[in-house]
Amino acid sequence: MTTRAWLLSDTPASRRQAVWGRRYQGWLALKRNPLAVAGLVIVLLMLAMAAAAPILATHDPGAQNLANRLQPPSAAHWFGTDELGRDVWSRVLFGGRLTLGMVVAVVALVAPIGLILGAVAGYAGGWLDRVLMRVTDVFLAFPRLILALAFVAAMKPGVESAVIAIALTAWPPYARLARAETLMVRNADYIAAVRLTGASGARIVLRHVLPMCLGSLVVRVTLDMSSIILTAAGLGFLGLGAQPPLAEWGTMIATGRRFILEQWWVPLVPGVAIFLISLAFNLLGDGLRDVLDPKQR
């Protein structure tokens, strides 16, 4: 029996076979969606390029050459040079490391926290729900950038502080979303049936309620990617995020904005990078949501 036949078997003989079969079918479903595949390819490509930045870069991203500032794209400088004569191509590559790293770190912090807080609040109800949701409202009431600014100002400026600050401001919408989804399923008979097995509240929330919130969360996360990058840029622009001479996409746009009419390549290149990665995450997220829901297959 070929691996494919084993994976696609209608009557799996073991749980392991069923799980792998399901994963394979999920992969096949994802493959059938060309937009999702495009998203996946772009995400993987950009991650690979960021990882291989030292090999792919043609110049030192921090090396200044004031005699060579604001040069248009050429053979020596593929994407031109910025206001300090640094090579934009190399800076975009190294900036990718920082930007993508920050995005991934923020999402890895925010998604589980928001998800668990929201699901616990929604499932428990009562005073716990009220307390958690008021806290969420307090965070939601502040404009994102201002709250992040306050946090970074309290800590020392830098990439780590920026990540924590953005995470602190980004979780409330996830908690809200997870709570709304939880409220929809908490009174369902299938949750009642799990309660009747004698399972603990934590088990019910983690194993039975959370999976129902995942689909919309994935979409929300992918929609949020670009806004996280822009908040990071905002912090960087104010000198509170990535510190010069570190390259970071948001900061690169912020400083390159002044040259948008004459030396358009300076802000355009990192802008295109942000646009591409946001779009790719979006497409991938949409595809993933469909794959996560067994009914869609």
Partner 1 sequence: MITAEALHVRFGAVHAVRGVSLRVDPGESFGLVGESGSGKSTVLRALAGLTPVSEGRLVIDGQDLARGRDRAFFRKVQMVFQDPYGSLHPRQTIDRILAEPLLVHGLPEARIARALEEVALSPALRYRFPHQLSGGQRQRVAIARALIADPSVLLLDEPTSALDVSVQAEVLNLLADIRAARQLTFILVSHNLPVVAHLCGRIAVMQGGQIVETLDEASLRAGIASHPHTRELIALSRDLEGA
Residue 213 contacts residue 182 (beta carbons within 8 Å):
yes
Q: Is 26 in the site for partner 1 (CB under 8 A)?
A: no
Q: Smallest gap, in angstroms, from Cβ of residue 245 to partner 1?
A: 48
Q: Residue 245: is the preceding peptide bond cis (ω within 30°)?
A: yes
Q: Smallest gap, in angstroms, from Cβ of residue 7 to partner 1?
A: 12
Residue 293 contacts residue 29 (beta carbons within 8 Å):
no
Q: Is 294 in the site for partner 1 (CB under 8 A)?
A: yes
Residue closer to partner 1 (CB basis): 41 or 192: 192
Q: Is 126 in the site for partner 1 (CB under 8 A)?
A: no
Q: Which of 18, 109, 124, 223 binds partner 1 (CB under 8 A)?
A: 18
Q: Is 11 in the site for partner 1 (CB under 8 A)?
A: yes
CA atoms within 13 A on the CB side of 160: 2
Q: Smallest gap, in angstroms, from Cβ of residue 132 to partner 1?
A: 22
Residue 102 contacts residue 246 (beta carbons within 8 Å):
no
Residue closer to partner 1 (CB basis): 252 or 291: 291
Q: Which of 190, 227, 239, 275 binds partner 1 (CB under 8 A)?
A: 190
Distance CA 55, CA 78 (A): 15
Q: Smallest gap, in angstroms, from Cβ of residue 205 to partner 1?
A: 13
CA-to-CA dists, residue 54 to 43, 63, 67, 78, angstroms: 19, 14, 24, 16
Residue 177 contacts residue 220 (beta carbons within 8 Å):
yes
Distance CA 18, CA 163 (A): 39
Q: Which of 6, 12, 56, 65 binds partner 1 (CB under 8 A)?
A: 12
Residue closer to partner 1 (CB basis): 27 or 190: 190
Q: Smallest gap, in angstroms, from Cβ of residue 111 to partner 1?
A: 18
Q: Is 156 in the site for partner 1 (CB under 8 A)?
A: no
Residues 199-258 that bind partner 1 (CB under 8 A): 199, 203, 207-208, 211-212
Q: Is 28 in the site for partner 1 (CB under 8 A)?
A: no
Stretch that binds partner 1, among 138-146, 168-176, 184-192, 267-275 (CB under 8 A): 184-192
Residue closer to partner 1 (CB basis): 31 or 207: 207
> Which residues pair with residue 273 across a beta bridge?
none
Q: 103-126: buried (b, 16+ CB within 10 Å) or exposed (e) per residue?
A: bebbbebbbebbbbbbbbbbbeee
Task: Give backbone dihedrals phi and psi of 29, rounded to 5 degrees, phi first.
Answer: -65, -40
